[in-house]
Each structure stands twice: as C-alpha cells, then as structure tokens.
Amino acid sequence: MSKASTMAKTSARGGFNIFWGLAASTIISAVSLVVLARILPPSEFGLVGVTLTAPQFIMVFTDLGINSAIVKYSAQYRAENREEHLRNILNAGVTFQIVLGAIFMVICFLLSGFLATNVLQRPEIEPLIRIASLTIFAGVLATTAQSVFVGYERMELYAATQILQASIKGVLASALVIVGLGVFGAILGTSIAFVISGLISMLLYYLAIHRHIHKEKSTSLKASNAIKTMLKYGLPLSASAIIASFLLQFYNLLIAIYSSDASIGNFNVAVNFTVFITFFVTPIATVLFPLFSKINPKTEIETLSKTFRFSVKYAALFVTPAAAALIALAEPVIRTLFGQQYVEAPLYLALYVLVMCVYSAFGSMTVDNILNGLGRTKVTFALTLATLAIGLPLSVLLVPLFGIVGLIAATLVAGIPDIAIGLWWLKKQYTLSIDLVASSKILLSSVIAALVTYLVVSQIPLSSWLQLAVGAVVFIALYLTASPLLGSVNRADVRNLKQMLGGMGFVSKTLGIAFDIMERLAREPPAQKKEVSEP
C-alpha cells in the first residue's frame, strides 16, 4: 500500500471518529435549538444570537495562530520522530493560550456596556454580555485541548469533548429557559456549559497526552523558542482569522441595523441548521490539516499531488450532494423542526447552503488546509485579504437594499478569490491541480438530483415530515444513479473509498451498499490513468 493510501486510510478513520462525535453533538445541539426556538419568540431567539456576538468576536483575538501551530508541529514532529520538541511546544502553547484567554475575558467584561450600547445598539443586554464573557476563557481551554488532540490524531478525544459541551449546554440552556428565565437563562446556561466542558477538556489533555511525554526528551527546544516558532507560523493565520471574524461580525452588525429581530431569528435558525453540512465538512477539514502537515513537499511531491487531488474529489463526493439535498428540502426541513412561524428561514437556508454546494466541488475544504499544512500561512493571509476587499464593499451596498438576502449574495461572491487564486498559486508553486472535469460532474449530479427532488416534493400534498422523508429517499436514489452514470466517479474511485472506509463496522456495511450500487453503474477509469487511481 502506498504512503498516500496509508495516510488516506488513517485520515478516514480519524474523520469517522469526528463524524460520530459531531453527529451526536449536533443532534443534541439541534434538540436544544428546537426547544429554544419553540419556547422563545423569534425576537428573543434573535436576541440570544446578538448577545453572543460580542464574546464570539473578542474570542478571535485569543488565538494568534497558536492553536493552528499546535496542530501543525504536533503532527510534523511526530511524523519526523522529533518527539524531543513536543513537550515544550505543548507546554508553551497551552500556557500562552490560557493566559491570553483570561486577559480577553476581563476585557469583554469591562467593555460590556460599550459593546451593548454603542456597537450592538441594545443597552439592555449589558448584563448578558458580562455573563457571556465567561465563554471566552472557557472556550480557549476547550479549543486548545482539541488542537492537541487533532495534532496527535486522537480524534476520539476531540469527538468526546464536542459531545460533552453540546450535552451540558443543551441541558442547562433549555432547562433555564423552560423554568422561565428566558434570554437570561439561555445565556447563563451556555456560559456554565462552556466553563465545565473547558475544564474537563484540559483534564483529558493532561491525562491522555501531557503526562506521557518524558521531560528528559524536551531540552532541545526552549519555551521562548517554541513560542517564537509558533507565532512565526501562526500570526498570519491569526490575522486571517481576525479579518474573517471582523467581516463576519461586520455582517452581523449590518443585519442588526437593517433587519428586524424577527428576520435575524429566522436567519439564525437557517444558519444553525447548516450544521447538517458540518457532519461532512468538519471531519474532512479537520483531518486534512495534520495530513498535509506530515508530507514533505521537497521529497514527496508525488504523494502530495495524489493526496491533494483525491482529497478534493472525495470530499466533494460527500459534501456537495449533502448541500444540494438540503437546498432541495429546505422548506420541509424547517417546517418539520421549527413549525410555521419561521417563514423566512427556508429561503435563507437554501441560499446560504448554495455557497457550500458550489464551492465544495472545487476545493474549498482543501485549499486552505494544504497551504497551512505546508507552512504557507502568508498565502492564506493574502487570500483572506482578497475576500475582505470584495465582501466589505459588497455587503455595504447590498444589505441596506436587500437585507439578509443581500448579505448572502455578498458572501457568495466574496468567497471566489480564496478558491480561484489559491488553486492558481498551488499549481504555479507545486504543480498541484484538481480534476476540474470530475468536480463539474459531481456538481452536475448533485444539481440534477436536487432539482428532481424539489419538483417531486413540491407536488406531494403531505405533511412536512413525510415530504422530508420522501425527498431524502428520492435524492439519495437519484444521486447514487446519476453520479456514476455521468462519470463523477469511476470504479477505481469506488474501490478506493471502500478501502479507505473499510473496517469501520456498521458504517462500512451501510456505505458498502451505496458503493456497491455505484460500482455496478460506474465505468472503469481510462487505461492511461490507472496508475494514479490509488490515493
């Protein structure tokens, strides 16, 4: 088995661990979300999202790229057998993050009045922002521990911490709202849940990883040098995250000014429901970062080329149709889970997911990960600046005119440079390229399945949950048929996927049914390409 195949199989298993953790945590979060959305009126539900905007924005400044550096160097040093560096890298990174998180928690608390009155234009939420400031410090604890888990490819621990946080948050926030505390209860429950899960995440890090790294092997890299190394790598990523967060919060500020609380509540429902897509996006994106970090582009260019090409294609095979299905079934999905009161949410959901559907087919999940894995974080920063240069003026123009629909349109257009320029740069520097024909066919297969599904569902005079069930069956059947017939996948692709996902018990058996159908309908790859068919 080639190195690319071995790494792909390892990453597939790690992705599966993240998948089940994400699935479980998302289901828990979704139940909590439905409870909150049904108990709270749309205006109060929107106010919960507005309150959390302040600490979420400030939290971006707590990283400085250190978490990404922890993932990068943990994976790289382990692959290079340089374990003598690991303890100081982890000690320095974790300590740095904890101190920074505490500082910015205090800053958020002290600025709560200014943020509520002058920024969010809702002075009544000042005490809520003070409580929510706890999520900054607690969130840093959790994300730092999770970064270590990803770098060590201990995805089962990553998944466990996700489930833990979602469970505690779901129980506390829902319970406090039910007993009559309203928006205050939702914010208080969320903050307490963050604190508990953050502390437990750090405890897991210590027990599973930290105490097993021998002190005598860590003398070659001092703490100060470790911080310098991580900051040199991570600061461009931190700047990228700050710019991206600024743009996101600027978007939130615009819709807070130009949209009603009810419309914001509808939009929050739509955005929160896109967690369905994260079932596929997050596992793929999470495992790709350490995967590319382990490849040396100078000595393993062939492995890098194969891994890049197939990571784009195989990620698109899962994410693009999932997004297309959600677009086609947006209305029955919203009505089934949230009832009739969120009338704008189906439109917002369909338009918002359209971005993921189109971009995932052409490498949106892979471009930034390979750049960061190869240490080219300055390029990632430049791509973020390009997104800002387009998204900022477009949102200022479109949101006052079209509200949330204008915001989604601006987001769609602003994402083009990140993919297009990123693919061009990778081809120029490393001769890496994606299979544009295959990506186009995957998108076409998904669009065909989505259009037919929408037409079928819209003609069924049934309840929304029956429309959803019928639509899901129709879409899956159409995609499994259209994808191999149109050439989105060939038999070599199906065999590769079977190998990568083999040995996963129930999941392998379930997906095996779909793969068997696709393999019967698919064609063999062209003879001249057989030698590169294995990832």
Q: How confident is the model at residue 105 (pLDDT cuts 50, 70, 90)?
A: very high
Amino acid at 44: E
Domain residue spans of the chain: 51-221
pLDDT of 366 reads 85
> What is the rounded distance in angstroms from the CA atom of residue 159 to the CA atom of residue 167?
12
pLDDT of 399 reads 92
Least confident of 21-25, 307-311, 326-330, 501-505: 501-505
- Phi, psi angle pair for 362, to nearest 5°: -120, 25
**Across 63-77, average pLDDT:** 85
pLDDT of 3 reads 55
**Across 138-161, average pLDDT:** 88
Q: Largest Cα–Cα distance of the chain, in whole Å? A: 71
Question: pLDDT digits over 190-231, tens only?
Answer: 899 899 999 999 999 988 888 777 654 444 457 778 888 888
pLDDT of 199 reads 93
Q: How confident is the model at residue 112 (pLDDT cuts 50, 70, 90)?
A: confident
User: Is the pLDDT assigned to residue 146 strictly greater than 80?
Assistant: yes
User: Is the pLDDT assigned to residue 416 strictly greater than 70?
Assistant: yes
240 or 273, which is more confident? 240
**Across 93-107, average pLDDT:** 91
The two structure tokens encoding residue 208: 């599973």
Q: What is the mean pLDDT of the chain?
A: 82
User: Is the pLDDT assigned to residue 4 strictly greater than 70?
Assistant: no
**Does the pTM exceed 0.95?**
no
pLDDT of 528 reads 45
pLDDT of 202 reads 92
Least confident of 179-188, 287-296, 379-388: 287-296
Least confident of 71-85, 357-371, 462-476: 71-85
Neighbour count for residue 10 (Cβ, 10 Å): 16
Question: pLDDT digits over 358-396, tens only?
Answer: 888 888 888 888 888 888 889 999 999 999 999 999 999
pLDDT of 279 reads 67
- Report how many helices (DSSP H) and strands (DSSP E) the chain contains, helices first: 23, 0
Q: What is the DSSP secondary-structure string of 136-174?
A: HHHHHHHHHHHHHHHHTT-HHHHHHHHHHHHHHHHHHHH
Least confident of 111-115, 236-240, 339-343, 497-501: 497-501
